[in-house]
């Protein structure tokens, strides 16, 4: 259907992209000379440089990076693979942005993909990255083991895990101080007189979520609160499910006086539920991870904020350091969280 077209017209016909050979022919030089000019190698006469540059411009020539890579000594594709949790979460957006900023500075392009809580997409994306010969990987994971990466890591490909720690392999990991952040939230609510604090958590199969729960429960334990009396609801991974779960909890015979929501979207679902029962001014709420416009709500939402920019930046730094020869053992890099007080967490326990 493409081919019948406009017979005899000026032929917009799909010409293919120009190659060095064509540039060389037009400039009347050898192809290696074109290569030299394009790559700024020395020992080319000024006149030749001009001829080649003109020819390249005339043909709108763009060198084929991959073909070059095939032969080039360092074998670097100047490409990175980034897998984030979910594009719908602002946390991921911020990480992406930070990684890209660092990458662009080095002339590295970023393949970005998102997991969307689908374990099969993890391995699939990584494989896609690897077949495209990325120089390094920055990964948020969800599948139970990252053992499938062992050989690749052994071969020297830098892999940095963000937001979640890997299992089955050792590598650089950049995470928020999840347990400590959760503990911070708990202390804050305890200080406001709460003893019956509900835990609303993300999927239990996410290691990060388990860390937050651990921090939460341990801090309650340290304060002498019997954890058996603490409502713990997990596997909440969106607003709607959280909404329903918290409504149920609030209707129970011994409802909590405070709520700790251990994730972004869970926090939003919790806010909606508290509003639906008109309890947003009487039940305290502290969320983990910041929420957009949290300060404009009534009351403002108190959160333990993460620092996604720093996480992305640090991850990129680690990848590039290893590409530059750093071969220290993989380590955990912990990015601190901080409590942002806005109102919802400072509601005192009644009685």
Would you tell me which residues interact with DNA (CB under 7 A)?
Answer: 16, 19-21, 28-33, 35-36, 38-39, 42-45, 47-48, 63-64, 67-68, 70-73
Antiparallel, parallel or unpaired: β 338-340 and 302-305:
antiparallel
User: Which window, 21-29, 44-52, 99-107, 205-213, contacts a second copy (CB under 8 A)?
Assistant: 99-107
Contact string (CB under 8 A) for a second copy, positions 284-303, x = contact: -------xxx--xxx-----
Closest approach of Cβ 60 to DNA, in Å? 12
In the complex with DNA, which residue's Cβ is closer, 33 or 264?
A: 33
CA distances from 277 to 32, 270, 273, 281, 303 (A): 75, 11, 6, 10, 21
Site for a second copy in 68-87 (CB under 8 A): 69-70, 75, 77, 79, 87
The SS3 call for residue 91 is helix
Residues 6+ apart with CB under 8 A from 51: 27, 28, 29
Q: How far is the CB of 324 from a second copy (least distance, A)?
A: 10
Q: Which of 8, 60, 251, 351 binds a second copy (CB under 8 A)?
A: 60
141 with 166: CB under 8 angstroms? Answer: yes
Q: Quick count: other Cβ atoms within 10 Å of Cβ 327?
A: 8
Number of helical (H) and strand (E) elements in the chain, helices listed first: 12, 12
CB of 130 to DNA, least distance (A): 11
- Return the residue of 21, 30, 65, 235 that touches a second copy, per CB under 8 A: 65
Cβ-based burial of 17 (10 A; exposed 0-12, middle 13-18, buried ≥19):
exposed
Q: Which does 87 bind (CB under 5 to 8 A by kind): a second copy, DNA, none?
A: a second copy
Contact 115, 161 (CB under 8 A): no
Angle of helix 308-323 relative to helix 90-105, nearest 10 degrees? 40
Binding at 110: pick from a second copy, DNA, none (beta carbon under 5-8 Å per type): a second copy
* Residue 240 binds to a second copy (criterion: CB under 8 A): no
User: At its nearest, how many Å lie between DNA and the CB of residue 74?
Assistant: 7
Q: What CA–CA distance (Å, rounded) separates 221 from 214? A: 10
Query: Which 109-128 positions form the footprint of a second copy (CB under 8 A)?
Result: 109-114, 121, 127-128
In sequence order, the 6+-apart residues with CB closer than 8 A to the CB of 336 are 176, 177, 180, 307
CB of 204 to DNA, least distance (A): 39
* Nearer to DNA (CB atom), residue 79 or residue 267: 79
What does the alpha-carbon distance between residue 157 and residue 178 come to, in Å, rounded to a whole number? Answer: 27
Residue 57 Cβ vs DNA, minimum distance, rounded to whole Å:
15
Backbone angles phi, psi at 232, to 5 degrees: -120, 115
43 binds, among DNA, a second copy, none (CB under 5 to 8 A by kind): DNA
Alpha helices by DSSP H, 228-340: 239-251, 264-276, 308-323
Q: Which of 9, 73 has the CB closer to DNA?
A: 73
Q: Which residues here bind a second copy, judged by CB under 8 A?
A: 1-2, 5, 12, 14-17, 60, 62-67, 69-70, 75, 77, 79, 87-88, 90, 92-94, 96-97, 100, 104, 107, 109-114, 121, 127-133, 151-152, 154-156, 268, 271-272, 275, 291-293, 296-298, 325, 327
């Amino acid at each position: 259907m493409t081919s019948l077209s406009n017979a005899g017209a000026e032929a917009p016909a799909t010409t293919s992209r120009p190659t060095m050979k064509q540039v060389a022919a037009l400039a009347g030089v050898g192809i290696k000379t074109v290569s030299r000019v394009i790559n700024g190698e020395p020992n080319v006469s000024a006149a030749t440089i001009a001829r080649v540059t003109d020819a390249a411009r005339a043909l709108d020539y763009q060198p084929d990076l991959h073909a070059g890579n095939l032969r080039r000594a360092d074998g670097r594709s100047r490409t990175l693979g980034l897998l984030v949790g979910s594009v719908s979460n602002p946390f991921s957006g911020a990480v992406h942005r930070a990684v890209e900023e660092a990458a662009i500075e080095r002339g590295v392009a970023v393949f970005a993909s998102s997991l969307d809580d689908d374990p099969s997409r993890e391995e699939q994306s990584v494989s896609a990255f690897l077949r495209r010969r990325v120089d390094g990987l920055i990964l948020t994971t969800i599948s139970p083991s990252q053992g499938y990466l062992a050989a690749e890591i052994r071969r020297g490909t830098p892999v940095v895990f963000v937001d979640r720690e890997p299992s089955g392999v050792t590598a650089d990991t950049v995470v928020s101080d999840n347990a400590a952040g959760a503990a911070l939230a708990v202390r804050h609510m305890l200080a406001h007189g709460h003893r019956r604090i509900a835990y609303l958590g993300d999927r239990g199969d996410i290691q990060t979520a388990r860390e937050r729960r651990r921090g939460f429960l341990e801090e309650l334990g340290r304060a002498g609160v019997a954890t058996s009396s603490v409502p713990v609801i997990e596997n909440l991974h969106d607003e709607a499910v959280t909404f329903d779960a918290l409504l149920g909890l609030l209707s129970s015979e011994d409802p909590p006086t405070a709520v700790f929501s251990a994730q972004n979207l869970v926090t939003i679902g919790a806010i909606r539920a508290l509003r639906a029962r008109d309890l947003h001014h009487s039940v305290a709420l502290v969320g983990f991870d910041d929420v957009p416009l949290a300060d404009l709500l009534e009351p403002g939402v108190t959160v333990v904020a993460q620092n996604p920019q720093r996480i992305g930046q640090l991850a990129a730094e680690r990848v590039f350091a290893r590409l530059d020869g750093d071969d220290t053992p993989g380590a955990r890099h912990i990015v601190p969280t901080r409590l942002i007080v806005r109102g919802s967490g400072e509601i005192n326990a009644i009685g």
